[in-house]
Amino acid sequence: MRRRILMGAALAAPALAACRAARAAAPWPSPVALVVPFTAGGSTDIAARVLAERMGPRLGPQVRIVVENRAGAGGSVGSDYVRYRPADGSTLLMATASSHGSNPAALPDRTPYHPVRDFSPVAVVGGGPLVVVVPQASRFPSVAALFAALREKPGDLHWATSGVGGIGHLTGEAMLVRAGGLKAEHVPYRGGAQVMEALAKGEVDFSLEVLASAAPHLRDGVSRGLAVTGAARHPLLPDVPSLAEAGLTGFDITTWNVLLGPPGLSQDALTALSAAANAALAEPDVRRRLTAAGVDPAGPSTPASTGAFLQEELAKFQEAVRSAGLKLDG
């Protein structure tokens, strides 16, 4: 995610005013369902619960936001559920780079919705890089050494991701293309936990996994990080270079979370929801808890800037699919 999106904790005065106006207006529906299109326990689920706790009271003193996990098909099940809910502010979605970026780009025929047109954008929540990870006992001390081995024996190494068409898959394919059209055998798993377990057991040679999933294993010395996929090093992994620093100039692909609603939310509802989300994200404790979960909290955003961000990210993943020559549907 670009630095201009992630930086800046100050909340603009108009957003605060809108938040107060929302509380003075007609009562907000309660409880509000915040759908997480993945299983509980991951970074998206944690971010949703942190945000829900602080957003609810900003919509009204009695408003509760309850997280619902509706996992399946790379986030498509929960996302498709939300787009058919009433546009009254009672249902929201914590969308991800997989559900609304990489999967629609790589698997358009299997994604039942358009990631931009079929939702109402509310606010950018946060994001972070992926990590190129190898087993602790790996013979590769650096990304350069890994690339050299891939050039020497194309297709000989195995790399794991948490699913075909997901953020790790497309980011890895983009990395291999940018490094000179390198080839490795892709091994999809059912989730990040399974990928990290496979790495720990030495079943695969490397992976690209989101920071939140990889960080505990890196801290415990179970696996090693060779590079991060953002434009710069990450504060949680100060000794791990970025891919751009390691030779892939300009490489910058990150995962992210965006708050969306069903299509057709009124401008008043969007203004109130955006103000509540931005106010919650400006709280130091919220930012600290998100950072600890591996999610870099976003700075202030608007429904318009959130929609533009979604469109830009979708285009980035579509370009990754084209450049890698991926044919995943059918």
CA-CA-CA-CA torsion sign (245, 237, 196, 1):
negative
Over its C-alpha atoms, the chain yields an Rg (Å, rounded) of: 20
Query: CA separation (Å) from 84 to 30, 69, 72, 310, 314?
Result: 18, 16, 17, 20, 22
Query: CA separation (Å) from 182 to 116, 153, 177, 324?
Result: 32, 9, 6, 10
Residue 330, pLDDT > 50, answer: no
**Spatial CA neighbour of 89 closest among 270, 240, 242, 255:** 270
**Burial category of 105 from C-beta neighbours within 10 Å (exposed 0-12, middle 13-18, buried 19 and up):** buried
CA-CA-CA-CA torsion sign (276, 123, 74, 97):
negative
**pLDDT (average), residues 154-178:** 92
Residue 117, pLDDT > 90, answer: yes
What pLDDT score was predicted for residue 2? Answer: 47
What is the C-alpha separation between 247 and 151, in angstroms, rounded?
15
Query: CA separation (Å) from 45 to 96, 150, 295, 308?
Result: 11, 35, 11, 24
Q: What tokens does 241 get? A: 């270079």
HSE toward the beta carbon, residue 106, CA cutoff 13 A:
26
Give alpha helix (H) positions in the chain.
3-6, 13-24, 43-59, 76-83, 97, 103-106, 143-152, 167-178, 192-201, 211-219, 267-281, 284-292, 303-324
Is it true that 3-127+255-324 and 129-228 share their CATH fold? yes
The band of 11, judged by pLDDT with boundaries at 50, 70 and 90, is very low
**pLDDT (average), residues 215-243:** 92
Coil, strand or helix at 215: helix
Residue 13, pLDDT > 80, answer: no
* DSSP secondary structure of 75-134: GHHHHHHHHTS-SSSSEEEEEEHIIIIIHHHH-GGG--S-TTTTSEEEEEEEEEEEEEEE
**pLDDT (average), residues 152-168:** 92
What pLDDT score was predicted for residue 97? Answer: 94
pLDDT in tens, 42-67: 888 999 999 999 999 999 999 999 99
Q: What are phi and psi of 227, to 5 degrees?
A: -165, 160
Average pLDDT value for the chain? 89
CATH architecture for segment(s) 129-228: 3-Layer(aba) Sandwich (3.40)
Full-model pTM? 0.84
Which of 80-94, 139-153, 190-204 has the least mean pLDDT?
190-204
**Burial category of 222 from C-beta neighbours within 10 Å (exposed 0-12, middle 13-18, buried 19 and up):** middle
33 forms beta bridges with: 66, 91
What pLDDT score was predicted for residue 26? Answer: 61
pLDDT in tens, 259-318: 999 999 999 999 999 999 999 999 999 999 998 888 999 999 999 999 999 999 999 999
Residue 25, pLDDT > 60, answer: no
The band of 24, judged by pLDDT with boundaries at 50, 70 and 90, is very low
Domain positions in the chain are 3-127+255-324, 129-228
What is the C-alpha separation between 168 and 209, in angstroms, rounded?
6
CATH code of the domain occupying 3-127+255-324: 3.40.190.150
The band of 19, judged by pLDDT with boundaries at 50, 70 and 90, is low
Percent of the chain with pLDDT over 90: 72
DSSP structure class, residue 192: H
pLDDT in tens, 175-209: 999 999 999 999 998 777 788 889 989 999 999 99
